[in-house]
Amino acid sequence: MIQIAILGFGVVGSGTAEVLTENKAIIEKKVGQPFDIKYILDLRDFPDSPFGDKVIHDFNIIVNDPEISLVAEMMGGSHPAYDFTKACLEAGKSVVTSNKEVVANFGTELLAIAKAHGASYQFEASVGGGIPIIRPLNQDLSSNNITAVNGILNGTTNYILTKMECEGASFADVLKEAQQKGYAEANPAADVEGLDAARKTVILAAMAFGKRVDPNTIFCEGITHITTKDMEIARELGYAIKLIGHTEIKDGKILCMVSPRLVSFSTPLAGVSDVFNGILVDADMVGQVMVYGPGAGKRPTASAVVADMIDIMEHTPAGINAPVWTDATSEDIMDFGTYACKNLVVLDAPLSAGDTLISAFGATRVCYVQGHLAVITAELPETAIDELMAKVGATYPITTRIRLL
Amino acid sequence: MIQIAILGFGVVGSGTAEVLTENKAIIEKKVGQPFDIKYILDLRDFPDSPFGDKVIHDFNIIVNDPEISLVAEMMGGSHPAYDFTKACLEAGKSVVTSNKEVVANFGTELLAIAKAHGASYQFEASVGGGIPIIRPLNQDLSSNNITAVNGILNGTTNYILTKMECEGASFADVLKEAQQKGYAEANPAADVEGLDAARKTVILAAMAFGKRVDPNTIFCEGITHITTKDMEIARELGYAIKLIGHTEIKDGKILCMVSPRLVSFSTPLAGVSDVFNGILVDADMVGQVMVYGPGAGKRPTASAVVADMIDIMEHTPAGINAPVWTDATSEDIMDFGTYACKNLVVLDAPLSAGDTLISAFGATRVCYVQGHLAVITAELPETAIDELMAKVGATYPITTRIRLL
């Protein structure tokens, strides 16, 4: 009998308890032995929940109970989630989590502690909710050198951008609606400023390249400044606007960044709408593969959490090929100023200025749309585009600059 | 040192040798020990290949060599591929394959033989080429009851349908072009009649439901009868036409089938174009997840083959949670006559016949397009739609009937 503890009885924690209970038969068949949820740790009591009698308030009971071999950390936030995870791993208990903040900030250390204590630390649910992506990066694509990963990693912002695109509504109006529907938090900063996507991007980079970049240091631009006019111009040019977590490796240097991007309607990421997530992996042998599905939500996220639990229950930790991360040093990190891509630049300028702009931006495309001049620049490094925009902007006010994917 | 043998040095076999060689460093790092390709079995010699000195013609050398612990079967066809696979597994050698014909026809037996002899039999590359799907079904979705799988599983037919859709070209013309480009075989029957997709559908069903259905007994309709007019009518109604492998389980009964389907442009499978494959899984906890990528090709397929080899090299067979299949009995199989879906029926009939047709087919939608009456029927069992078509067809000739997804 495997005894399980769940830390945190919020949305994902209660979803995990439900999946473990409702699909107990197929899970036990797969695992080959019975299991039980022994404790649920939460500050609150849940007298009306069928799991109410398992709720305790003292973490020490869990970490000191030798019967507990598997812990699901569903608390969110860095502390005490990190501290509890560390204590469990040091006690030889395996831990699964959906907590991207802890994985992105402390993943290197926690993976090492798990290994040293014969335990496993798994986090399939920390990126892409119920979508399989961590294990595919670790196993299915293990014969490849991964070169880049691009993802729509945040359901809230993708819902907002999809609504803006389809209904022509403003960012502020759609955000308000999303908050009313429960798709966005009362304080939406972590979503709309891109921090949530940044943490997931860092986890994907560490899985792809073996190096953990500090999520607090990466370039991170949110969607609060995107207007319906930007949407219209992008659409006329054949692009959707998506918040993209991007990571790549070039000459051994890793870049992680989050920003709105123009995504061509002819590519599969453009079709990822509403609260769904999509992650596109570039690898040297397979080319491009994409995974798509529900990037959040109670049961989809719990589905991935429980898949990790099954992996742990059916294997010894030695039988699980855990990823090994090291923390990236400044040597490992690409100078963001050298990162080059095409850009959409929208200016208040007459069409007669087109020739000047073509030459200034090495532009491949200039369109007069919606009373503005929209320029698709050559592939330019960040430092170069910044300089050019300052120079050109002195004559023609620039209203928008969005990178292309 | 792990010694490997490759059976068959065609497209996938040579791709496998290349991936193992070019990415040797990352593979050995992941596996934790060195490996080498000792033999390549083929009837031909390859004096100009860098692997030419490894080529042998006698299978007995491989099966009798105790140094060989891992065999990649890339021969295609049932025999001798099945026989060689069986002999290797019985000798305790693990086998990986991209051979959907062997897996679909003999998978139950070969998985059991592998288990009995402490070996592993893996076939990630047999469905979806380089796309991760077998392992996600076995692991990432293991906390779910899978209810249905729908896939665009054959790159050749998807290329043909995409070209017909985009260029308005006829099936015969596009097939000829595909043959010239090497996307279609000289004898294209296995692709265009749906047999290749049928084998892959059976493998997906066995992974999802644990029961192997005989691929030669399932309903299988190809794309040879699809016309550009069908394409145009479908598009006007908001659908692409795709060859879909479909499997579902209902009340414990399994259905496997292959047929052209109308796929709504608003769903992700409709965006899977050209030679790409896409597989959409319905599961009770996660909802829907899709995987997308190159469904064939030398290096993408080899990428999946080598991922299986890495899995085997880094684990003992006991550490690999192999799927367990049983062969489906007639008790397990859904009566195809009871399978119900909506249908597009196109008739030579005047618009004035619309009311009659609405009532006959319980139609939700009747459109007069391209000089024809196009009817979307109610969700009707196969037996019912067949009867209705015979009855209505006596008055108004029916030119097309395609199921909706």
Kindly state whether A141 is in contact with chain B, defined as any CB-CB distance less than 8 angstroms: yes
Where do we find the tokens 């397009």?
A: B369
Tens-digit pLDDT profile for residues A228-249: 999 999 999 999 999 999 999 9
Of A70, A74, A42, A37, nearest in space to A58 by CA: A42
**Is the CB of residue B93 less than 8 Å from the CB of residue B104?**
no
**CB proximity B283 to A under 8 Å:** yes
Minimum-distance CB partner of A140 among B124, B286, B287: B124
Q: Which helix (H) or strand (E) holds A40?
A: strand A35-41
Q: What percent of chain A has pLDDT over 90?
A: 89
Model confidence band, residue A182 (pLDDT cutoffs 50, 70, 90): confident
pLDDT of residue A134 exceeding 90, the answer is yes
The amino acid present at B121, given as its one-letter code, is: Y
- CB–CB contact B300 A287 (8 Å): yes
Closest residue of B to A20, CA-based? B143
Q: Specify the pLDDT at position A370.
A: 75
The answer to whether the Cβ–Cβ distance between B285 and A268 falls below 8 Å is: no
Q: How far apart are the first and last CA of chain B?
A: 50
What DSSP assignment string belongs to B111-166? HHHHHHTT--EE-GGGSSTTS--HHIIIIITTTS-EEEEEEE--HHHHHHHHHHHH
Interface A–B counts its CB contacts (< 8 A) at 174
CA angle A210, A216, A222 (to 5 degrees): 110
| pLDDT beyond 80 at A316 | no
Which residues of chain A make contact with B287, given a CB cutoff of 8 A?
130, 293-294, 297, 299-300
Interface of A with B in 84-123 (CB under 8 A): none
CB B334 within 8 A of CB B255: yes
What band does A199 get if pLDDT is binned at 50, 70 and 90? very high
Considering the entire predicted model, what is its pTM? 0.95
Q: How many helices, marked H, and strands, marked E, lie in chain B?
A: 14, 20
Residues 351-370 of B with CB under 8 A from A: none
Interchain CB contact of A142 with B (< 8 Å): yes
Burial class (CB in 10 A: 0-12, 13-18, 19+), B145: middle
Range scoring the smallest mean pLDDT among A126-140, A158-172, A348-362, B124-138: A348-362
Does residue A158 contact residue A276 with C-beta atoms inside 8 Å? yes
ipTM of the complex: 0.93
> Mean pLDDT in chain A?
95
Mutate to test the interface with A, among B122, B139, B309 (most CBs of A within 10 A): B139
Given an 8 Å threshold on Cβ–Cβ distance, is B289 in contact with A132?
yes
pLDDT bin (cut points 50, 70, 90) of residue A24 is: very high
Chain A residue numbers touching B311 (CB-CB < 8 A) = 139
Are A291 and A369 spatial neighbours (Cβ–Cβ below 8 Å)? no
CB atoms A143 and B306 under 8 Å: yes
Q: Do B143 and A309 touch (CB under 8 A)?
A: yes
Residue B136 with chain A: CB contacts under 8 Å: 132, 135-136, 140
Q: Does the distance separating the beta carbons of B302 and A19 come in below 8 Å? A: no
Nearest CA in chain A to B136: A132
Choose among A27, A285, A318: nearest Cβ to B19: A285
A355-359, long-range: CB within 8 Å, 24+ apart, which pairs? Answer: A357/A392, A357/A396
**Which of B142, B331, B117, B137 lies closest to A31, judged by CA?**
B142
Per-residue pLDDT at A249: 98
Smallest CA–CA distance, residue B243 to chain A, in Å, is: 19
A300 and B291 in contact by Cβ < 8 A? no
- Known catalytic residue at B253: no
Asked if A311 is an interface residue toward chain B (Cβ–Cβ < 8 A), one would say: yes
Cβ-defined contact of B291 to A287 (cutoff 8 Å): no
Q: Which residues of B touch A283 (CB under 8 A)?
A: 303
Contact A135 B140 (CB under 8 A): yes
Work out the end-to-end distance of chain A between its first and last CA atoms, rounded to an integer number of angstroms. Answer: 50
Work out the pLDDT band at A320, boundaries 50, 70, 90.
confident
Test A135 with B130 for CB contact under 8 angstroms.
no
Interface check for B180 against chain A (CB to CB < 8 A): the answer is no
- Tokens 């049961």 locate to A299
CB contact under 8 A, B286 and A306: no
8 A C-beta contact, residue B155 and residue B221: no
Q: For chain B (length 405 residues), average pLDDT per consecutive 10?
A: 97 96 96 96 96 98 98 96 98 97 98 96 97 96 97 96 94 93 86 97 98 97 96 93 98 97 91 94 97 94 97 84 95 97 94 89 86 93 96 94 97
Q: Give A4-23 pLDDT, tens digit per residue.
A: 999 999 999 999 999 999 99
Q: How far is CA B143 from the centre of its chain?
A: 24
Chain A interface, mutation test: which of B143, B162, B310, most A Cβ atoms within 10 Å? Answer: B143
Q: What confidence score (pLDDT) does residue A308 get?
A: 97
B131 contacts on A by Cβ (under 8 Å): 289
* Residue among A322, A137, A122 nearest B315 (CA): A322
Check A321 against B300: CB less than 8 A apart.
Answer: no
Q: Which of A23, A143, A271 sits opposite B23 (nearest CB)?
A: A143
Question: Per-residue confidence at A39, pLDDT binned at 50, 70, 90?
Answer: very high
Taking the CA of residue B396 and the nearest CA in chain A, the distance in Å comes to 39
Catalytic residues of A: 200
CA distance B8 to B99: 11
Q: Is A252's Cβ below 8 Å from some Cβ in B?
A: no
| Least Cα separation, residue A236 to chain B (angstroms) | 20
Contact A145 B26 (CB under 8 A): yes
CA-to-CA distance for A88 and A91, rounded, in angstroms?
A: 5
22-61 of B, contacting A, C-beta below 8 A: 23, 26-27, 30
pLDDT range class, residue A364, cuts 50, 70, 90: confident
Q: Judging by beta carbons within 10 Å of its beta carbon (0-12, 13-18, 19+), is residue B332 exposed, middle or buried?
A: middle
- Residue tagged active-site, from B200, B211, B242, B342: B200
